[in-house]
Every structure is written in C-alpha cells, then in structure tokens.
Structure 1
Amino acid sequence: MVVVQTKAGGGGTSLVPVSDRVVAFLPYLLPLISGLRYSRYFFAAFPAAIIMLQPLLPIVKIVATLPLGNLIPFFAAYLGVARNQNLSRFCRFNGMQAILLDIVLIFPGLLESLFSREILGITIPYFLSKWMYNVIWVGLVVAFALCAVGCATGRYVNLPVVSEAAEAQMR
C-alpha cells in the first residue's frame, strides 16, 4: 500500500492511504457537476478550455438522465462518505466539505430566482449576470483544483467558511 505522510490538524503526522485519497476526492465531482450551469459564459469566451471537462462527460450524462438529477449522488456522498464512520477522518472531512461546497452553489441560484421578473420584477443586467457566472465558475474550479491536489497529496485543504462548517459537522 502506498501512503503519503502529511501534517495532521493537530501538528502530528499521519499516513493517508491511496485508497482514502481516492475516496476523499470523489465527492468533489458533485459540486463541479452542479456548478456546470455557471460555466456557459466562461466556455463561450474560452472554448478550448472545454477539453478539461471531457473526462467528466460520461458522469455528467448519467447524472443528467437520472430522474432525481444530483439528489442521488448528493445522498450517496453524504451517507456513503461524509457520515460513514467506517471511513477515515480524512475521507469524511473531504466528503463533508464537498457536500457543503455543493450546498453553497444553491445560493446563487436562489439569488437569480429572486431577481426574476416573476418575483421582484427586476432582472439582473446581462453584464452583471455574465460576471457573476464567471466568478462562480472560476471560484468553483479553483476550489476543486485545490481540493483535488490536497486529496492527491493526502493533505487537508481549508476553504474559507466551508472548512469551518465541515469541521463543525465532524464533531
């Protein structure tokens, strides 16, 4: 078994097996797939960047054809990883952080719905909507990349606010 030595939260050292690093990474696909709706303006401006999503296409197609969409993978990540006491703390923390990152993505959609003609009678100007979508997408991709590298190296990645909430759920 291949392991990576890392600094644990308390300053000690711990070993993270490769299998745990893979399990810890998989839930991060959930917010990435959920956040695809915010990528349209980014990929319109940078069409060559779509190549980075090619490996995810089969997963995206499966999730899109599921009757409950992201709900099944969400509960699979929550119950199968984040709340599974048989897994290491590293897996559970990363699973919870990924789930909370996915939940954070609900808020821009709520804001967008609030500022619709049907509810407030106000629409978000196109340039502001485009800017907001790009900020959300790029922020999500950066968070995903940081967490993916953290999982691959067996290190905890602390995302502002999200990590604190994940830590609180671990208690």
Structure 2
Amino acid sequence: MQFSLVPVLWATLLGSSAAFTGIASKPLAASQCRQFQLRTGPVLKASAEEQSQADDEIEKLKTMAAKLRAEAMALEADRAKELAEAAERAFQKFDTNQDGEISLEELKAGLEKAFKMELPEKRVQQLMNDFDTNQDGALQLNEFVGVDKFRNALEQLAREEKMAAQEAQKAAKVESEMAKFLEEQMELINDRDPSTSEKVISTLPYLFPLMDGLQFGRFLLVENADNPLVAIVAILFALYKSVPFSGFIAFIALNLLSSNPSINKLIRFNMQQAIFLDIFLFFPGLLGALYILVAQNMAGISVPPAVTEIGSDAVFFSLLVAIGYATVSSLLGKEPDQIPIISKLVQDRMPRFEVDMSQFGQVQPRKEETPGDDDKKDKKD
C-alpha cells in the first residue's frame, strides 16, 4: 500500500500560517504592557544618568581650559615684563651719558663691550639705520630691542657681507680672466710702434703702384736713361713684368696681408694705401684715352705730343711725390696719412679688429657693411 506525504505537508503549512496570522492580529493585554514597561524602564533611566555625568565632565574641562589660558596669559605678561625690564637695564648700560637715548658712538661701545669684539662702524651704522624707526640718528627706549636681537642682526649682516664678498671675489676672478684673455687677444693685434726692420718693410708695398705708374714716366725715364736709379727701376720693372698677371697677384696679396692683425699696423696701412694709389692711376689713363678718342677720331684734332708728355709727366711726378712722402714718413715710424683723399679712404677701409668678450672668441676683422645690407635687413624685418 502506497502512502503520499504531499497532502500532509500542505495541511501542516496552511495550519501554521493561519495560527501566526491570528496571533499577530490580536492586541496585547494590559498585563503584558506593564510587564514590557518594567523591563525597559531601568535602561532609559541609566542613559539619562550617563548623559548628566558627561555634561559635568565637559564643564570641568572647559573650566580647566579657561584656567590654563589665564595662567598662560599671566606667564606671557610676566615674560614680557621681564624682557622689558631687561631691555631697560641694557638701555641704561648703553646710555652712558644718561640723556635718554643711545647715540651711534654709545651703541658701538656698548655692543663691543657686550660681545667683547671690535665692530666696524659700517655695521653699527647699519644697525642704527635698521632700528631707528623715527630716523633721528639715535635709539630711544621703545626702539631698543635688546642685546640678543642686536646679536642676531649683526650675524645676519655678517652673513650678507660674507656673501657679498664671495660674489665680489667671483666677479673679480671673472674680470681678471677676461682681462687676461683680452690681453692675450690684443697681443695678436700688432699695433705697437714699428721696429727698424718693420719700418723698412712698410715701404716695399709702394713698389706696386710705382711699377704700374712707370707707363706715365716713360718720357722722363728715356731722357735720363744713363741715371743709375733709372737702370735699377728698369731692372725691377722687367722682373715685375716677367711674372704673368703680376699686377693682379700683387693686388690680391696686398689686400689679404693687410687683413692680418699680426702684421704691424704701419705695414698694413701702407699696403692699403699702395692699393689705392694703384687704383687712382687708372683714372689718368682713362681720361687720356677718352681725350685722344674725342679729339682725334671725332673732332679730327690732332693732339700734340707735348701735351701727352706733359700730362704723363705730371701724373708720374705726383705719384713720385706721394710715394716719396709715404716712404720718408714710414722710415721715421710715422703713419703717412696726409695724402689727400687717398689717406682718408685708407683709414675708412682699414680692418678694425674686435674681441667678443661674451663668447671669448678669436680676434676677427669687423665685417664692412655695404649700402645694400641695410635694405636686406629691412626686408627681413
């Protein structure tokens, strides 16, 4: 015989639910309420007593805090009073003449006595300036801060002076190094007085315009062919012309050498002046050629040989005078800078050597600006 438990379980669950619903829906009886109050009353009473005790503790702490603050203020007042009395006693010691103020001399003497050391008057004056609030040149009692603060101020001044001295020492070292560097670099620029050999060498560049100017002196040279000087000049001219492109080579060589700062300034100046003399020889030849072209070919006028000879002799004579003046001045060690027009152009053209101290660079000739450089800069801007 088979027996099923499912109907029994369903009946049990339904009965328990009905019983619980019935209990929850019934109100508590009066006896049950009194029993609940008896059980919870002691707990509420204990909580109220604890709260009262906590409030009492807070009040006690507040009272103690107020008392401590009052004691601290009293101690602070006593300390301030002691400091004021100590400052007044120290003030009386510093104020040796008892006039109610401390002068610079009294301050210096008092500090030296207190610190047992000699103080620079500059430091004492700085202290006076720092603490003399009314700027009357003396310290009154309300400005007197006490020996300890003076000590701290002096120590601070000493530290600042030490730092300033270190900075000055560093600056002096840098300045010394820069001066040494400048001196070394300036040694590369030979602007010293020329030696005897340099005086002689400084005259040699004028052979360049002399050789190119012999074409204007052909009439004088032919007339004085027996003169030994003319023979020497003829030999030099033959050697000069034997070198291909001798004029161009001489021009380039003189121009490059005149930019060398190690060469004596007198030699460099004469190199530049020789170049300009040679350039100026171009204009008489050009004018003579144009005159002959216009007079003979266009106007049909024949130019007398005497006119050509006089013009050539005048140019050659002027060249000899300029070279003679430059040679004599150079041999005397004096810069030949009095040739009209040419010497001024040479002075403007001479390279100027500068030292870049910020970069400790090498000595370099300053770049000559051309008129077009300004326009290029403006376009870039």
TM over 0.5, yes or no?
Answer: yes
Residue 325 of structure 2: which of 127, 146, 159 is its match?
146
- For residues 73-122 of structure 1, the C-alpha deviation after alignment (integer angstroms, 9 at most, x for no partner) is 22222212x22222122111111111101111011111122234489825
Structure 2 partner of 1:85: 261
Structure 2 Cα separation of the partners of residues 91 and 119 of structure 1: 43
State the partner residue of 1:23. Answer: 201
Equivalences for residues 89-104 of structure 1 within 5 A: 89-104=265-280
RMSD between superposed Cα atoms in Å: 2.3
CA contact (8 A) 1:77 1:99 kept: yes
- Distance apart, 1:128 and its partner CA: 1.7
1:40-119 matches, within 5 Å, as 40-48=218-226, 50-80=227-257, 82-117=258-293
Residue 21 of structure 1 contacts residue 151 of structure 1 at CA under 8 Å; is this kept in 2? yes
Is residue 296–residue 303 contact of structure 2 (8 Å, CA) maintained in 1? no
- Is 1:38 aligned to residue 208 of structure 2? no
Q: Could you list the runs of 5+ residues in structure 2 that have no partner in the other structure?
A: 1-191, 353-381
Classify the secondary structure of the residue corresponding to 2:193. Answer: strand
- Paired with 1:110 and 1:70, the residues of 2 have a C-alpha distance of 18
22-31 vs 55-64, greater mean Cα deviation? 55-64
How far apart, CA to CA, are the structure 1 residues paired with 2:193 and 2:319? 28
Partners of 1:104 and 1:43 in 2: CA distance: 21
Sequence identity, in percent? Answer: 28
Bigger fraction of residues in strand: 1
Checking the alignment, whether the CA contact within 8 Å between 1:31 and 1:101 is kept in structure 2 is yes
Counterpart-to-counterpart distance in 2, 1:63 and 1:124: 31
TM-score, structure 1 as length reference: 0.79
Cα offset, 1:33, TM superposition: 0.8
CA drift at 1:137? 1.1
Determine which structure has more spread, i.e. the larger CA radius of gyration.
Answer: 2
Change (3 A) 1:43 1:57: closer
TM-score (norm 2): 0.38
